[in-house]
Amino acid sequence: MGYIGWMIFGVVLLVAEIITPTFFFLWFSIGSFIAGLMAIFSFSFGWQVLMFALSSTLLVLLTRPIARRLSKGDSPRKMYVDGLVGSTGRVTAEINPQLEKGLVRIEGEDWRAASLNGETIPVDSLVRVIRLEGTLVYVERIADNSK
């Protein structure tokens, strides 16, 4: 396979890396480009394949622990949602248990809300998030000392 074949193979692997979020095909793509460079300098096909295999394997083995460490933590969005419990917000649409409607604004975002103890909570009341189930927050009314 000439250098053009290696370069095409490298581009195909690069596209595969872009399409999949695995951070795996990139190293084989780089190995393919290295083998293509060897083909340009007229190394035999055996040497090209050997360099492709060695460089790809080394890159995978050396960078896998780094990639695993970088992707280890929770997503910022998940940490934000977990942090909602205990936070306070303002009712923007009356929380009415009979109608099963209500909205609360928490940190600039509107959330569907339900009263924890079944009471109707009027608009502009201050509430605290007690529980979160999916996109529904269960709240309780708290005293508003700012008025």
Alpha-carbon distance of 117 to 140, in angstroms, equals 7
Asked if the model's pLDDT at residue 113 lies above 90, the reply is yes
The per-residue pLDDT for range 127-138, each reduced to its tens digit, is 999 988 888 999
What pLDDT sits at residue 92? 95
In the chain the domains, ranked by start, together with CATH numbers, are 3-70 (no CATH), 78-141 (2.40.50.140)
Which one, of 140, 132, 135, lies nearest residue 95 by Cα?
140
The per-residue pLDDT for range 80-104, each reduced to its tens digit, is 667 788 899 999 999 998 888 899 9
The per-residue pLDDT for range 27-82, each reduced to its tens digit, is 999 999 999 999 999 999 999 999 999 999 999 998 878 777 766 655 555 556 67
pTM over 0.75: no
Sequence-separated (6 or more) residues with CB below 8 Å from residue 116: 130, 131, 138, 139, 140
